[in-house]
Chains A and B, each alone.
Chain A
Amino acid sequence: MDQVFRFEPKDRYNAFITTRNDVPFGEGSLSGIPLAVKDNISTAGIPTTCGSAILEGYIPPYDAHVISCILREGCALVGKTNMDEFGMGTTTENSAFGPTLNPADISRVPGGSSGGSAAAVAAGMVPIALGTDTGGSIRCPSAFCGIVGMKPTYGRVSRYGLVAYANSLELIGPMARSVQDVSLLLKVISAYDPRDATMTDRPYLHTPAAKVAGCRIGVPEEFFGSGVDPKVASVVWDAIERLEGMGAEIVTCRMPSMAYALAAYYVICMSEASSNLARFDGVRYGPPADTRKTWHESYSDRRGTGFGAEVRRRIMLGTFALSSGYYGKYYAKAQAARQMVRDDFQRLFSEVDLLAGPTMPTVAFRLGEKTDPLSMYLSDILTVPANLAGIPAISIPCGEVEGMPVGLQIMGPRFHDENVIDAAFAYELEGRS
């Protein structure tokens, strides 16, 4: 690494938590390309906060697998981006480092939780970025900021070095201004890594080919349910009709498990969070625990002050859902509902090649608009099914409502990331005009 990229961003949107000025880079398919990384992905020698005060001062001693991959291809890792604390949020307002603003309208949120990465790409500060997606955290901010973002098939990108929030749902994925760049970054980060036991050795080696003619695309009625803003629905239907005009066959269908998907998602992610976040004890990293107090007192105080309100809500609700007497009512039922979602997708993908609909039910919210937790959770209804089933899903810009970007979401069967990319690429080339 003998070359240096000079990075001097005007970060008017608070997209970054940490930036580097003189950034070394090497040779490879990403040589010299400035790349931003969400701040829950471990970077050796560069602070990694997860948007939380509890990790203040933490500098990871090792790189996440995806970081080794991008550095091997010569990128210039210019900084770490803002996010909802530990990925818990849909707005990037739940950050100990203040909210990120939406470059399309600074009175609005960029979406979340990968809002910093989305804003950095949308504002032109970097061409590509890494985000993470547990229930829509790549696709939501991509839709709200008007960029392309993809959650790959679960098991296609190593989670080694990703600070865990909900292991069975989350994945690292690419964000960019074009489908080709998303595809290029996915190719780099999907290299096999035995250190993630849920990873399969099926690297993505694809070069996008605009291909949608003859493709059967299903549109579940539930994706246009009562919570979806009619103006957003209209823009997305126009996009789907353009896919039809390009030779795709559009089939309306039903997905009854949508009635349970959101509740199942939240019970599962909160339960997993309650276990994963137990590691932030003030003993191994972060601001110190008070060793004069007992373990219980010291640990409770550290977590009480170190975690923001949303993180504490989720840990507590997860603890509750797993506690004796409630496990059957919440966690076991959520796993059964998750199976219904998987079964629905399996049935649908025996009839159609891809599914399409809106990424988000509305355009970006105004800052401070979502004060009630449940109303914020409800906006994830269209993105969580892909995480419950582990299938690939992409969000691409498909128009605007009152000047704010709208995202079209395309999903495919597990390990058919290539088909999802090809359809998105076809839309990007021909459909947008």
Chain B
Amino acid sequence: MVTEKDVISVASLADITLTREEEALFAHQFTTILRYFDVLDTVSGVEYDNTGEVNILREDDVQESLPRELVLSNVPSSEDGYFKAPRVM
């Protein structure tokens, strides 16, 4: 059973605001969905097998990148060639 309090707590973790109506609706929907996911509790005796899988990493060498003006072309707010972001603290 997922409560509205649980929904508010996850919304805060996920950095998403919800309306009051959504808090109640999501609590109800999450309860139904998580109940369906409970079938995974019966999975046993199987481990994820990643044998044969290898990381293929490129050398960390400098490659050509997009010009700064192109990167900033979609930026809603910039200053002196930098992204302008809200203050963190």
Q: Give the distance in Å from the alpha carbon of A335 to the alpha carbon of B50 in the complex.
A: 11
Q: Is B40 an interface residue (CB 8 A)?
A: yes
| Size of the chain A interface, CB-CB below 8 angstroms | 64
- Among A57, A283, A297, A337, point to the contact of B43 (Cβ < 8 A): A337
Q: B57 CB to closest chain A CB, in angstroms?
A: 8
B70 touches A61 (CB 8 A): yes
- Beta-carbon nearest neighbor of B66 in chain A: A61
**Cβ contacts B59-89/A at 8 Å (1 or 0 each):** 0000000100011011111000001111111
A296 touches B29 (CB 8 A): no
- Most chain B beta carbons < 10 A, residue from A194, A307, A317: A317
**Cβ contacts A288-320/B at 8 Å (1 or 0 each):** 111111111111110111010100110111011
Which residues on B sit within 8 Å (CB–CB) of A62? 66
- Beta-carbon nearest neighbor of B30 in chain A: A317
Which residues on B sit within 8 Å (CB–CB) of A330? 37, 40
Given A266-B37, A294-B87, A295-B86, also A316-B76 (CB < 8 A): no
Which residues on A sit within 8 Å (CB–CB) of B10? 316, 319-320, 323
A320-344, CB < 8 A from B: 320, 323, 329-330, 332-340, 343
Q: Is B32 an interface residue (CB 8 A)?
A: yes
Stretch at the interface among A99-107, A241-249, A257-265: A257-265
Q: Is B1 an interface residue (CB 8 A)?
A: no
Q: A371 CB to closest chain B CB, in angstroms?
A: 10
B86 touches A290 (CB 8 A): yes
Q: Give the distance in Å from the alpha carbon of A283 to the alpha carbon of B24 in the complex.
A: 30
Q: B79 CB to closest chain A CB, in angstroms?
A: 10
Q: Give the distance in Å from the alpha carbon of A305 to the alpha carbon of B18 in the complex.
A: 9
Number of A-B contacts (CB under 8 A): 149
B48 touches A336 (CB 8 A): yes
Q: Is B58 an interface residue (CB 8 A)?
A: yes
A260 touches B77 (CB 8 A): no
A374 touches B33 (CB 8 A): yes
- Beta-carbon nearest neighbor of B73 in chain A: A61
Q: Is A203 an interface residue (CB 8 A)?
A: no
B29 touches A313 (CB 8 A): yes
Q: Give the distance in Å from the alpha carbon of A332 to the alpha carbon of B34 in the complex.
A: 15
B1-22, CB < 8 A from A: 7, 10-18, 22
Which residues on B sit within 8 Å (CB–CB) of A300? 11-12, 15-17
Which residues on B sit within 8 Å (CB–CB) of A263? 36-37, 39-40
Given A283-B85, A289-B76, A295-B88, also A274-B40 (CB < 8 A): no
A284 touches B40 (CB 8 A): no
A283 touches B76 (CB 8 A): yes
Q: Is A282 an interface residue (CB 8 A)?
A: yes
B18 touches A304 (CB 8 A): yes
Which residues on B sit within 8 Å (CB–CB) of A176? none
Which residues on A sit within 8 Å (CB–CB) of B57? 197
Given A284-B75, A330-B40, A336-B46, also A315-B85 (CB < 8 A): no
Given A299-B86, A303-B16, also A260-B48 (CB < 8 A): no
Given A59-B74, A291-B84, A323-B13, also A339-B48 (CB < 8 A): yes
Q: B21 CB to closest chain A CB, in angstroms?
A: 11
- Most chain A beta carbons < 10 A, residue from B15, B17, B39, B87: B15
Chain B positions near chain A (C-beta within 8 angstroms)? 7, 10-18, 22, 26, 29-30, 32-34, 36-37, 39-41, 43, 46-49, 56-58, 66, 70-71, 73-77, 83-89
Show 28 residue pairs from A and B whose CB-CB distance is below 8 angstroms, ordered by the A residue.
A61-B66, A260-B40, A263-B36, A263-B37, A264-B40, A266-B33, A274-B14, A283-B75, A294-B88, A295-B88, A296-B15, A299-B86, A300-B15, A300-B16, A312-B16, A316-B7, A316-B10, A317-B33, A320-B30, A323-B10, A332-B48, A337-B40, A339-B47, A339-B49, A372-B32, A374-B29, A374-B33, A377-B36
Chain A positions near chain B (C-beta within 8 angstroms)? 57-59, 61-62, 194, 197, 259-260, 263-264, 266-267, 274, 281-301, 303-305, 307, 309, 312-313, 315-317, 319-320, 323, 329-330, 332-340, 343, 372-374, 377
Which 8 residue pairs across A and B have the least CB separation, nearest first?
A: A304-B17, A288-B76, A333-B40, A285-B74, A319-B14, A298-B86, A61-B70, A335-B48
